[in-house]
Amino acid sequence: MAGFCYFPQTGEDIRQMLDRIGVTSMDDLYCDVPPEFLHKEELNLPDAMSEQQVRHFFESLAAMDPKLKVFVGAGAYDHYVPAVIPYITSRSEFLTAYTPYQCEISQGTLRYIFEYQTMICNLTGLDVSNASVYDGSTAAAEAMRMCVACARRKNTVLLSKALLPQVLGVVKTYAKYAGIRLAFIEAEGGRTSLASLKAQLESGDVAGAIVPSVNRYGIVEDLTGFAEALHACDALLVQYCDPSALAVLKTPAEWDADIAVGDGQSLGIPLCYGGPYVGFMACKKAYMRKLPGRIVGQTVDAQGRRAFVLTLQAREQHIRREKATSNICSNESLMALWVTVYLSLMGPEGMRQVNAKSSAGAHYLYEKLLETGKFEPVFDAPFLKEFVLKPLCNVNELQQRLCDAGFFAALKTEEGYVSFCVTEKHNRAEIDALVAAI
Amino acid sequence: MRYYDKLVFELSKPGRSGFSLSQEWADAPLDLDPALLRVEAPVLPEVSEVDVVRHYTNLSQMNFGVDTGFYPLGSCTMKYNPKINEEIAALPAFLGLHPLQDPETVKGARTVLDWTDRLLAEITGMKHFTFKPCAGAHGELTGLMILREYHLSRGDEGRTKVIVPDSAHGTNPASAAVCGLEIVEVKSNAAGLVDVEELKPLLGPDIAGIMMTNPNTLGLFEKDIKEIAALVHGCGGLLYYDGANMNPLLGAVRPGDMGFDIMHLNLHKTFSTPHGGGGPGSGPVGVAEHLVPFLGVSTSGFHGNFGVILRALAYILMLGKQNVHLAGRLATLNANYIKECLRDAYKLPIDSVCKHEFVFDGLIDDGACEGKAGATTLDVAKRLLDFGYHAPTIYFPLLFHQALMIEPTETESKETLDDFIAVMHKIAEEAAADPNILHAAPHNAPISRPDETTAARNPILKWENEN
């Protein structure tokens, strides 16, 4: 047959193999399929493309859209991606391996996951991290399930209304089908309200609460009193965090949170139209056995050398089936490597600078935007790299002007505000150009 | 592969750095109340760029991937990952797209999703797909939510149970549980197939549907699928197709034609995207026409793993209509060839034509004799590592005590299969002569067998500075 580059069998190979099996054609190997289900005609797919045609096809699609400078966050942050990261993560020994079930030939994967777990623990201050889940939203949903699993007999989880919209959406979806009751903590002045939390706790059925570290308005939350109020009711505090910001902000452990979750995308993962990203989950040691997903542990091999294995697997679906802590199997391992290499390069000083530069740029933009007279402040609350303003002009026209000038900025929020974000990728000159376009 | 013992933290030296940022605002103070700031900077490595590159290169060299060698891991479809896919996924124009951009400014990305939807619909016989699920199990969960939503929309609230065969992947019952469904297990018959007579009494007004893997985890086609579909639909339930085993059907059989209402695909299996050491995957869920209104279930933050979808579309375009019909057939040919060549040394519990994979139940002669334990499936798996192969899936499915599940995929040549078959025969001979060689394997992997019991009993889950 005419060779296809991914299929190595020659016509002669196929004939010999069929002979060995004792059949005359490959269709004979489908003798157990009722004939009516065997698809006889050609599938209605495009003609096979050459590699060059495929490349051209995608380059044409990629060229359809303007290249915009991104000044929006809202859960996906345009931080700089050092050249080393894709170089390492595209090494085929990492890229083309499967889950490290055969630990003797998977020490590379197991070691970077162990390093990743350590970094997540050090950023959050918590004791135990898993090997990753799909994204920040699903991490929050898993944390909701963990709260109920840890609490026993209590079935309500509280959500701050200041959480990102997509996080609220996914948690609500999971809760609906899992039969978990949700209740909401109001935001006052752009911040999650402690009074509202306390009022909700009076129901006596609260297993935990999920509150943001930096919220949907970009405001850095002050969680004084939250853990105390929740713990007094035997409920858990879950913090939804931007892990990049955790390099400078008070940690979940310092707030006495029990679980921290969020999206690792801000740690050097490209925007890529929303994925792949990586959800992180960390918790206090007491809740370790309720944590979903894979966990890597250190041990020794038969010669006493340090070695790493998947451990505490009695929590997982391939052992426990319907009694597992979660259904998760494949996670986002390669994106965890992405984060691990990023944090290795940046170190504590690099992470400080990323936050300093992003924050300074954001505060500069905030002042410049107010000077245009086209916006009003909404909240008087501290922010880091992201903020909202009230527009005094037509937002659609504003967004069009910005787009024409090469910017994605002024994201319209559900509340009618516009949201901006600045990262270390953008300098003063670019911010001035953005303001000029307004 | 050689043993390398460092962790990146152990290369750290205060004052060293591996980043490069412009100095503008680099030392700007944070405009935040100190009460909102962490007391101490996090402990992260302080290493140079070359340290990072060498460290991770060394780690990678203790790893085995599809590019390293044959990876016959059953149910995981470790086919070759084409390199053009990686270049497409790395196009800067795609990497720079923010997920919340106006659709008018992401026409290229929307076209990628539209094309993939249309082509997957044609390949599977489904109507439309959602791309939100980020992996196979995530697809199962999303699909089951759609299934429940369908019943709820009809006011049919009593359908709280889902039937799952005893041979199913562990994710099936786990996903059903996360979705709030009660699991009813249906037994396999002696031929390794869902027992229709066992199924019948389970059906009733409380059944939301059945989850089927076809071919199932024994690699056997559920040939009673037409009757099963009629029975389940007859009782008002829906049929869910676990696409983990879709590969042998690629270009040959369409789940939609068999009566399935909902299915997921593992793009990282059937559609050649790399497994990445355990993700990122992508588990798009397809539905028949009557379920399209329920596709909006939101189970991830944005649009799913777009970078993975790009790779899968590139693969489908390379295959085209001229090659797609061969993918499944060659995978099936390869599996049957190995099975026939090795059944003289390994127990074949069910003698039948298989699809993309098959299961042995351990060695025919495991070398056991008085005072000497025989070689187990675990031993065979570990000994294979010595010869430069990844091991098959072991101890799954749970139907057999010494299950050894082999899936070669279509991208392996006859020479690769013949070499593997010769090594499997050699291992069988070694076991018969002296199983201790196998008990002690692997002998030349970067590490020998680890102490997993201690790892679980006294968990060390992060690096601590001992100084």
The domain spanning residue A388 has which CATH number?
A: 3.90.1150.10
**Best residue of A4, A80, A115, A134 to probe chain B, by most B CBs closer than 10 Å:** A134
Looking at the predicted structure, is the pLDDT value of residue A1 above 60? no
Nearest to residue B69, comparing CAs of B363, B330, B389, B332? Answer: B389
Q: By the CB < 8 Å criterion, does B376 face chain A?
A: no
Burial class of residue A395 (count of CB atoms within 10 Å of its CB; 0-12, 13-18, 19+) = middle
* pLDDT of A320: 83
**pLDDT per residue as tens digits for the range A315-342:** 888 888 888 889 999 999 999 999 999 9
Statement to judge: residues A23 and A102 lie in one domain: no
What average pLDDT score do residues A123-130 get?
Answer: 98
Query: How far B234 CA lies from chain A's nearest CA (Å)?
Result: 20
Task: Quote the tokens at residue A393.
Answer: 């002009």
Looking at the predicted structure, is the pLDDT value of residue A272 above 70? yes
Classified by CATH at the fold level, domain B83-319 comes out as: Aspartate Aminotransferase; domain 2 (3.40.640)
Statement to judge: residues A183 and A281 lie in one domain: yes
At residue B38 the predicted structure's pLDDT band, cuts being 50, 70 and 90, is very high
At residue B210 the predicted structure's pLDDT band, cuts being 50, 70 and 90, is very high
| Alpha helix ranges (H) inside A296-392 | 317-320, 333-371
Statement to judge: residues A90 and A233 lie in one domain: yes
Choose between A313 and A23: higher pLDDT. Answer: A23
Cβ atoms of A391 and A417 closer than 8 Å: yes
Domain assignment present for residue A63? The answer is no
Statement to judge: residues A209 and A335 lie in one domain: yes
Estimate the share of chain A in helix, then strand, then coil, as percent rounded to the nearest 5.
Answer: 45, 20, 40
Q: By the CB < 8 Å criterion, does B275 face chain A?
A: yes
**Best residue of A98, A242, A267 to probe chain B, by most B CBs closer than 10 Å:** A98
**pLDDT per residue as tens digits for the range B221-235:** 999 999 999 999 999
* pLDDT of B467: 61
Q: How many domains does chain A have?
A: 3
Domain assignment present for residue A20? The answer is yes
Q: What is the pTM of this model?
A: 0.98
Rounded-to-integer distance, Cα A193 and Cα A333, Å: 36
Domain assignment present for residue A404? The answer is yes
Radius of gyration, alpha carbons of chain B: 25
Q: Which of A322-326, B203-207, B228-232, B292-296 has the least mean pLDDT? A: A322-326
Q: Give A-chain residues touching B324 at CB under 8 angstroms.
A: 43, 45
Write b or e for each residue in B267-292: b if 16 or more Cβ atoms lie within 10 A of its Cβ, otherwise e. Answer: bbbbbbbbbbbbbbbbbbbbbbeebe
Rounded-to-integer distance, Cα B196 and Cα B224, Å: 8
Query: How far A136 CA lies from chain B's nearest CA (Å)?
Result: 7
Q: Give A-chain residues touching B438 at CB under 8 angstroms.
A: none
Q: Which CATH architecture does the domain made up of B327-453 adopt?
A: Alpha-Beta Complex (3.90)
Domain assignment present for residue A186? The answer is yes
Domain assignment present for residue A2? The answer is no
**pLDDT per residue as tens digits for the range A159-191:** 999 999 999 999 999 999 999 999 999 999 999
Statement to judge: residues A187 and A324 lie in one domain: yes
Looking at the predicted structure, is the pLDDT value of residue A40 above 90? no
**pLDDT per residue as tens digits for the range B356-381:** 999 999 999 999 998 889 999 999 99
Statement to judge: residues A335 and A361 lie in one domain: no
What average pLDDT score do residues B297-306 get?
Answer: 97
At residue A2 the predicted structure's pLDDT band, cuts being 50, 70 and 90, is low
What average pLDDT score do residues A223-228 get?
Answer: 98
Statement to judge: residues A109 and A235 lie in one domain: yes
Helix (H, G, I), strand (E, B) or coil at A214: strand
Domain span at residue A359 reads 69-80+347-437
At residue B294 the predicted structure's pLDDT band, cuts being 50, 70 and 90, is very high
Statement to judge: residues A412 and A384 lie in one domain: yes
Q: Break chain B into its structural domains and give their ranges.
A: 8-60, 83-319, 327-453
Rounded-to-integer distance, Cα B109 and Cα B463, Å: 41
**pLDDT per residue as tens digits for the range B140-190:** 999 999 999 999 999 999 999 999 999 999 999 999 999 999 999 999 999
Looking at the predicted structure, is the pLDDT value of residue A34 above 60? yes
Cβ atoms of A11 and A1 closer than 8 Å: yes
Q: Do A344 and B47 touch (CB under 8 A)?
A: yes
Statement to judge: residues A22 and A148 lie in one domain: no
Looking at the predicted structure, is the pLDDT value of residue B410 above 80? yes
Statement to judge: residues A328 and A351 lie in one domain: no
Looking at the predicted structure, is the pLDDT value of residue B295 above 90? yes
The domain spanning residue A300 has which CATH number?
A: 3.40.640.10
Domain assignment present for residue A62? The answer is no
Evaluate whether ipTM surpasses 0.90: yes
**Best residue of A1, A25, A28, A37 to probe chain B, by most B CBs closer than 10 Å:** A37
Choose between A37 and A2: higher pLDDT. Answer: A37
Statement to judge: residues A188 and A132 lie in one domain: yes
| Alpha helix ranges (H) inside B154-183 | 171-178
Statement to judge: residues A178 and A75 lie in one domain: no
Looking at the predicted structure, is the pLDDT value of residue B349 above 70? yes
∠ CA B380-B381-B382, nearest 5°, is 95
